[in-house]
Structure 1
Amino acid sequence: MLRRSFLLWAGASGATAAAGVAGFLRWQEITPNVNMPGRDEGHLLRDRKALPPPSQTLETDVMILGSGIAGLTAAWKMAKEGKRDFLMLDGPQPYGNAAGGSFGELAFPTGAHYLPLPTQECFHVREILTDLGVIQRDAMAQRPYYDERAVLHAPEERLLFNGQWQEGLVPHEGVPAQELEEHKRFFAEVEQLRQVRGSDGKRVFAFPTVNSSDDAAWLKLDAISFKQWIEQKGYRSPSLHWYLNYCCRDDYGARYDKVSAWAGLHYFCGRGGEAANAGQGAWLTWPGGLQTLASGLERRAGAQRLKGTAVSLKRADKGVEALCFALEGGQPRSFLVRARKAICAMPLYVAARVVENIASYGFNPAQHIPVYAPWMVANFLLKRFPEERGQTPLSWDNVVYGEPGLGYVVSTHQDIRVRPPEKTVFSSYVALSDRTPSGARRWMISASPQELLALAGADLKAAYGANFASCVERVDITLRGHAMASPSPGFRSDAGLRALRELDGPILFAHSDLSGFSVFEEASWWGYRAARLALN
C-alpha cells in the first residue's frame, strides 16, 4: 500500500469570471490510499526469487489455490455436499475481483459491483443465490422471487450527454431520428438472436458459455471484431457505436474493435433472467458490490482459509504438492501443502508460472494465455452529496459520454432510508482501453498520485465541476494490472483453454479465464464443476 499526501484538484473554470476576476484552482489536501493488490507477491513469483526452506508441511484432501469467486464456489459446493477436508489458500488478494472495502460503516466495491439476474440455464448461480438467501422462493422457476434489498432500485442509470443528464445509457435526447431508428433495429436484432439455436440444438449465446452452441456457422462470429460485425450490418450511428463500445469496455475492459463479435453479441444475448418481483433485465447489487456474495460463500463453506500464495504445483506420489509462501513483515515464509487433488483457482497467466509443466496438459502459455485488461477503481468518500444539475436525479450508475472512464456508482443507493445519508461513497471505474494493456500497466506503475486521481476523477469533474472537491473527505484507489481476460477474436477456438476446461485429474483448473472473459457466472461455473470432480 502506498500512502502519499497530495493535492486533490477541485477543477478550474477555464475562463475569467464576468467581473474579470480570474478563476482559480481550488485545492484540498488529501491523503489517499493507492492499492495494487498482489503486486509484491506477483513480482516475487515473476522474478523467481529464492525462498527460505519450508517451515511446515500441511496435509489435506483437497487444496484450493485462490479465493476468488471460482475458489470460493468450489469450497461452498464441497461443503454443501458434506466435504470438510479441504484447505483454501488466499492467493495475493482474498476474494480477487469480487473484493471490496469500507469507510467505517460505508461499504464499497474495489472490483465487480453487480450481477445480472441469472437465467434458468445458470442453475449453479441460482443454487448459490438460494443458499445465500438472495433468492427467497421458486429458485429454479422461470421467475424466482428475490430479496428486495438486492434488486436494483430506481433510478437505475443515467448518461451525461451533450452537457445534460438523460435517463438510461443509450443516448437519445438530441439524437437525430435516423440514429434512433438504428438503435431500434439493433435491439430488435438482439432480441431475435437471443432465441436462435445452432444445429446442435443449443442456444447460440448462453450462460455459462459451455452451454452455448458449437455450430461452426455461428462460431464464424469469433473470427472478426464486434466493430467489424456492427459495420457489416450497416450500423453507422455514432451514438450507437459509442454505446456498444462502452458495453465492451465495461464488461471486457477492451474496445469493441479488440473484442470478438461473438463476445460482443453474447453480452446482449446471453442474459435475460427474470424475476417475479422485478422487470426483465434487472440487476442485483449491494453497497460493497460482489464482496457480499464472496463473503457469503466463504461463510457458508466454513472454509479453512490460509494466508499464502502458491509458487509451484506439481504431481506427487499420492496426489499433488504445492510450495507456497506468505509475506510476513515484507519477508517470505514458505511452507508445503500436500493433497489428493488441487483446484487451481488462479488466473492463467499466474498458473502458467505455478503449475509444473503446464504444457503437458495441452496449454502452451506462449499461444494460449488471454489478453488481460488493466482496471482502476477509485472510491471517493464524500462528506456530503454534490449538487446535481438538471432534473434527472442521481442514479445508481452514472456515466459520462466519452472514454476511457466508465462513470461512477453510488454505494448508498440501495439503502432504504427516510432521508439520504449524510455521507456516501462514489465508486469511479476506469478501463484503460485507450492504450495497449502493457502500456496501461507501465503507466499505472509510473504515474504519480496526482495523475492517477486526475484520470479516476475525470468523469466526476465533468459531472460536478469545481464544487466536487469540497465534498471529498478521502480517496482510495485500487489498481488492477491484470484485472480481467478480454475475449479477443479467436478466443472461442483457443485449444489451450479447451484442454484445461476438459481436464479431470489430480490438478483441476477453475477460473473465469477458462471461458475467456471475467464474469461471475463463468467463474462460479468452473468452481462448481471442479468441486463436483473433486468430490468424485
Structure 2
Amino acid sequence: MLRRSFLVWGGMAGLAAAGSVAGFQRWQEITPVLHYPGRDEGHFLRDRKALPPPSEVIDTDIAILGSGVAGLTAAWKLNKLGKTDMLMIDGPQAYGNAAGGAFGDLAYPTGAHYLPLPSPESVHVREILADLGIIQQDAFGDKPYYDERFILHAPEERLLHDGHWQEGFMPTEGVPQWELDEHARFFKEVERLRQLHGADGRRVFVFPTVMSSEDPVWTALDRITLKAWLEQNGYRSPTLHWYLNYCCRDDYGTRYDQVSAWAGLHYYCSRWGKAANANDGTWLTWPGGLQPLVRGMERASGIERRAGTCISLKKTASGVEALCFRLEAGKPATYLVRARKAICAMPTYVAARVVENIAGYGFDPAQHIPEYAPWLVANFLLKRFPDELPGQPLSWDNVVYSEPGLGFVVSTHQDIRVRPPEKTVFSAYVALSDRTAVNARRWMVAASPEELLALACADLKTAYGAQFAACVERVDITLRGHAMSVPWPNFRSNAGMKALREVDGSILFAHADLSGFSVFEEAAWWGYRAATLAAK
C-alpha cells in the first residue's frame, strides 16, 4: 500500500463554469490510497527468494488454495456434501476479484460488482443463490422469485453522449435511422442465437461454457474477432461498433478487435435468465459488489480461512503438501499444509509456478498461459452529490462515450431511503485497453499517483467538470495487473486448459481461467466440479 498526496480543484457549486478558470476557487489536499493486491506476494513468488523453514504443520482432509469465487464455491459445495474437514488458504487477497471495501458504513467494490440473472443451464449458480436465500421461490423454474433487495433498482444505466445523459448504454438520441436499423438487426440476431442449438443438440451459447455446442459451424466463430464478425455480417454503424467494443472491454478487459467472436457473442447470447419479480435481462447487485455474496458463501461453508499464499504444491504418498507463506513486515514466514486432496483455485499463471511438474498434467506454461488484462478501480468517497447534466438522472451504472474508461457505479444506489444519503461512493472502472497488457502493467508500476488519478477520474471530470473535485473526501485506487484472462481468438482450443479441466486426482484445478474468461458463473462452475471430485 502506498500513500501519496495530490491536489484537486474544488470550490465550484454549479456546472455553468465547470471548464473555466473561475471554477478553481481553492486547492484541496487529498491523500489517496493506492492498493496493489497480490503485487508483493507475486513478485516474491516470481523471484523465488529464500524462505525460512515452516514454523507450523497443519493437517486437513481438503486444502483449498485460493479464496476467490472458485475456491469459495468449492468450500460451499463440500459443506453441502457433508465434508467439513477443510482449510482455505486465502492467496494474495481474500476474495480475489470479488473483493470490496468500505468507507465507514459505505461499502464499495474493488472488483466485480454484479451478477446477471442465471439462465436455466446455470443450475450451480441457482443452487448457490437459493441456499443463501437470494432466490426465495422456484429456484430451478423458468422464473425464480428473487429477494428484491438484491435486484437492481431503477434507474439502471445511462450514457453520456453528445453532452447529455440518455437512458441505456446504446447510443440512440441523434443517431441516424440507418444506424438504429442496424442496432435492431443485431439484437434480433442475438435473440435468434439465444434459442439456437447446434447439430449435437446443445444450445450454442451456454453458462457453463463446457455445455455449449461443439458444432464446427459455431466453434468456427472462435477463429475470428468480434470486429471481424461484425464486418463480415455488414454491420457498419459506428455507434454499434462503439457499444460492442465497450462491452468487450467491460467484460473481458480488452477491445473487440482482439476478442474472439465466439466470446463476444457469448456475452449476449448466454445471458437470458428471467425472474418472476423483475424484468428480463436485469442484474443482481450489492453496494459492496460481489463481496457480500462471496462472504455469504463463506459463512454457509463454515470453512476456516488462513492468511497466506501457496508457493509450492506437490503430491505425496498420502496426498499433497502445500508450502505456504505470508509476508510480515516484508519478511516471509512459512507453514506447511498436508491434505488428502488440494483444490488449486488460483490463476493458471500462478499455478504454473506453484504446482510441481504442471507439465505432467498436459499444461505447458510456454504455450497455454493466456494473456491477462490489467484493470484499475477507483473508489471516490463523496461528501455530497455533484450537480448533473441534463437528461437521464443519476443511475446505478453511468458510462461516458469514450475509451479507456468504463464509467462509474454508485454504491448507494440499492439503498431504500426517503431521501438520498448525504454521502456516497462512486466506483470508477478503467480497463487499460488502449495499450498492450505488458505496456499497461509497466505503466501502472511506474505511474505517479497524479497520473493514476487523472486516468481514474477522466470519465467523472467529463460528466461533472471542475465541481466534482470539491465533492471528493477520499480516493482509494486498486490496481490489478493481471485482473482477468483475455479470450483471444482460438482460446477455446487451448489444449492445456482442456487438460486441467479434466484432471481428477489428489490435485484438482478450479478457476475461471479454465473457461478462458473471468466471470462468476465460470469460476463457480469449476469450484463446484472440483468439490464433487474432492468429496469422493
| TM-score after normalising by structure 1 | 0.98
- Say whether the 8 Å CA contact 2:11–2:470 is kept in structure 1: no
- Say whether the 8 Å CA contact 2:9–2:24 is kept in structure 1: no
1:114 alignment counterpart = 114
2:508 alignment counterpart = 508
Separation (CA, whole Å) in 2 of partners of 1:109 and 1:27 = 28
1:122-201 maps to which residues of 2 (within 5 A)?
Answer: 122-201=122-201
1:195-344 maps to which residues of 2 (within 5 A)?
Answer: 195-344=195-344
The Cα shift of 1:298 comes to 0.6
2:421 alignment counterpart = 421
Do the aligned partners of residues 356 and 158 (structure 1) sit closer, same or farther apart at CA in structure 2, a change above 3 Å counting? same
Q: Which letter maps to 2:127?
A: E
Separation (CA, whole Å) in 1 of partners of 2:249 and 2:3 = 29
Q: Gaps spanning 5+ residues in structure 2: where?
A: none
The Cα shift of 1:7 comes to 1.1
Do the aligned partners of residues 52 and 179 (structure 1) sit closer, same or farther apart at CA in structure 2, a change above 3 Å counting? same
The Cα shift of 1:80 comes to 1.5
Separation (CA, whole Å) in 2 of partners of 1:322 and 1:529 = 21
Q: Which letter maps to 1:472?
A: V
1:350 alignment counterpart = 350
Separation (CA, whole Å) in 2 of partners of 1:441 and 1:313 = 27
The Cα shift of 1:66 comes to 0.2
1:92 alignment counterpart = 92
The Cα shift of 1:5 comes to 1.4
Give per-residue Cα distances to partners, 1:255-289, cap 9 Å, x unaligned: 00110000000000011000000011010000000
Partner-residue secondary structure (3-state), 1:60:
strand
Do the aligned partners of residues 382 and 503 (structure 1) sit closer, same or farther apart at CA in structure 2, a change above 3 Å counting? same
Whether 2:39 is the aligned partner of 1:43: answer: no
Q: Gaps spanning 5+ residues in structure 1: where?
A: none
Separation (CA, whole Å) in 2 of partners of 1:251 and 1:124 = 21
Q: Which letter maps to 2:257?
A: D
Partner-residue secondary structure (3-state), 1:34:
strand
- Say whether the 8 Å CA contact 1:312–1:354 is kept in structure 2: yes
The Cα shift of 1:57 comes to 1.0
Separation (CA, whole Å) in 2 of partners of 1:512 and 1:398 = 27
- Say whether the 8 Å CA contact 1:8–1:450 is kept in structure 2: no
Separation (CA, whole Å) in 2 of partners of 1:246 and 1:137 = 35
Partner-residue secondary structure (3-state), 1:413:
helix
- Say whether the 8 Å CA contact 1:154–1:395 is kept in structure 2: yes
The Cα shift of 1:331 comes to 1.0
Q: Which letter maps to 1:209?
A: T
Count of paired positions: 532
The Cα shift of 1:11 comes to 11
| TM-score after normalising by structure 2 | 0.98
1:28 alignment counterpart = 28
Partner-residue secondary structure (3-state), 1:406:
strand
The Cα shift of 1:9 comes to 4.5
Separation (CA, whole Å) in 2 of partners of 1:324 and 1:385 = 45
The Cα shift of 1:457 comes to 0.2
Give per-residue Cα distances to partners, 1:389-408, cap 9 Å, x unaligned: 11311000000001000000
Separation (CA, whole Å) in 2 of partners of 1:257 and 1:33 = 34
The Cα shift of 1:27 comes to 3.0
Q: Which letter maps to 1:378?
A: A
The Cα shift of 1:329 comes to 2.0
- Say whether the 8 Å CA contact 2:10–2:24 is kept in structure 1: no
Do the aligned partners of residues 22 and 384 (structure 1) sit closer, same or farther apart at CA in structure 2, a change above 3 Å counting? closer
Separation (CA, whole Å) in 1 of partners of 2:38 and 2:401 = 32
Whether 2:340 is the aligned partner of 1:364: answer: no
- Say whether the 8 Å CA contact 2:11–2:23 is kept in structure 1: no
Q: Which letter maps to 2:41?
A: E
Separation (CA, whole Å) in 1 of partners of 2:4 and 2:184 = 49
- Say whether the 8 Å CA contact 1:11–1:465 is kept in structure 2: no
Do the aligned partners of residues 191 and 11 (structure 1) sit closer, same or farther apart at CA in structure 2, a change above 3 Å counting? farther
1:469 alignment counterpart = 469
Partner-residue secondary structure (3-state), 1:426:
strand
The Cα shift of 1:104 comes to 0.2
1:375 alignment counterpart = 375
Moved >4 Å (runs of 4+): 9-12, 20-26
Separation (CA, whole Å) in 2 of partners of 1:22 and 1:77 = 59
The Cα shift of 1:201 comes to 0.5
Separation (CA, whole Å) in 2 of partners of 1:503 and 1:17 = 62
- Say whether the 8 Å CA contact 1:26–1:466 is kept in structure 2: no
Separation (CA, whole Å) in 1 of partners of 2:334 and 2:25 = 51
Q: Which letter maps to 2:472?
A: V
Partner-residue secondary structure (3-state), 2:412:
coil
Deviates most, 51-60 or 273-282: 51-60
Deviates most, 329-338 or 288-297: 329-338
Give per-residue Cα distances to partners, 1:154-211, cap 9 Å, x unaligned: 0000000011110000000000001000000000011101111111100010001011
Separation (CA, whole Å) in 2 of partners of 1:530 and 1:293 = 20
Give per-residue Cα distances to partners, 1:415-464, cap 9 Å, x unaligned: 00000000000000000000000100000000000000000000000000
